[in-house]
Structure 1
C-alpha cells in the first residue's frame, strides 16, 4: 500500500504529495463551481468542467480531448469512465464505513484501488485527505490523473451530500 496526502492551503486548492514529494495540484476556480484544474508535477495540465445543460456529467480534458468523465447515480455512487490511450475503463467511487466517513475507488470487478479518508481541519475550516493506494493502482500508467481526480470526486461527493441535507 502506498500513502498519499492531500493538503489544502486554502479552500480552493489542494496539493497531493507522497513522502513530501509533490505529485500534483487540484485548483478550483470558485468554491461553488465544479470547474477545476489539475496540474501534475511534470507540468501537464487538465481541465475539469461540467458538460451539458444541467451539468450532471463532469469531464476531465487535456485540451479538447476527454480523458475521463463522471456523474453521480441515484445510489449515491460516482460512476467514472476513463479513456486513457483510447481504452475505456469503468470505476465506481463511493462512500464506505458505518458513518460513511471515507471513500473508495473500485474497478468494475469491485477490486478496491484507492481509499480516501477526509479530515476536517476546524481551525482552517477545510479538508485534508489521507489516500491509500493498492499495489494494483500503483501499476496504472495514468495513476496521477486518477489520483487527483479521486480527490475531486471526494470534494464533489461531500458538496452534493451537503446540498442534499441542506434542502
Structure 2
C-alpha cells in the first residue's frame, strides 16, 4: 500500500507527491474548466478535454490518441475507460461516506484500488487530497497518470454535484 499527497497550489494546479518526490501535475487551463494538462515527471504530457456538444464525456489524450475517457453515470458514479499502458481496462469512481466526502476507485471486478480523501482548506478556498492505494493499484502501468485522472474525476464530481445543488436550490426558491 502506498500513500500519495495531492497538493493544490492554487485553484487550478494539483501536484502529485509520493513522499517528497513530485510525480506529476494536473493543471486546469481556466478556473471552472474541465480542460486541463496532465504532466508526468517521468513520462508524457496529456491533454484533458470535454468531448461533444454538452461535454459530458471527458477525454485524456496523448497527442491525438485518446488513452482514457470518463463520464458521469446516471447513478452518480464516474465510469473510466482506459487504454493506458496499452491495455483496455475499466474503472469506476464512487463517492462514499455519510456526506459523500471520499472517493473510491474500483476495478471492473469491484476491487478497491484507491481511496481519495479531500482535505478542504476553507481559508484557501481550495483543497488537497490524500490518496491511499492498494497492491493491485501499485501493479498497474501508468499509475501516476491514473491517480491524477482520478483527482480530475473527483473535481468533476464535486463540480457537477455543486451545480446540481445550485440548480435545485434556485428552482425551489
TM over 0.5: yes
Deviations along 1:17-40, one digit per CA (max 9) or x if unpaired, are: 011110100000111210000001
Q: Indicate the residue corresponding to 2:112 in structure 1.
A: 112
- Which whole-Å CA distance do the structure 2 matches of 1:133 and 1:86 have between them? 21
- Which whole-Å CA distance do the structure 1 matches of 2:4 and 2:126 have between them? 18
Alpha-carbon distance, 1:84 to partner: 2.5
Q: Indicate the residue corresponding to 1:41 in structure 2.
A: 41
Where does structure 1 differ by over 6 angstroms across 4 or more consecutive aligned residues? none
State how 1:66-81 maps to structure 2 within 5 Å.
Answer: 66-81=66-81
How high is the TM-score relative to the length of structure 2? 0.94
Deviations along 1:26-56, one digit per CA (max 9) or x if unpaired, are: 0001112100000011252000000111111
Q: Indicate the residue corresponding to 1:154 in structure 2.
A: 154
Q: Indicate the residue corresponding to 1:54 in structure 2.
A: 54
Say which SS state the counterpart of residue 165 (structure 2) adopts.
helix
C-alpha RMSD of the superposition:
0.9
Q: 1:160 and 1:20, CA in 2 relative to 1: closer, same or farther beyond 3 A?
A: same
Structure 1: gaps spanning 5 or more residues: none
Structure 2: gaps spanning 5 or more residues: 168-173
Alpha-carbon distance, 1:5 to partner: 0.3
Say which SS state the counterpart of residue 103 (structure 1) adopts.
strand
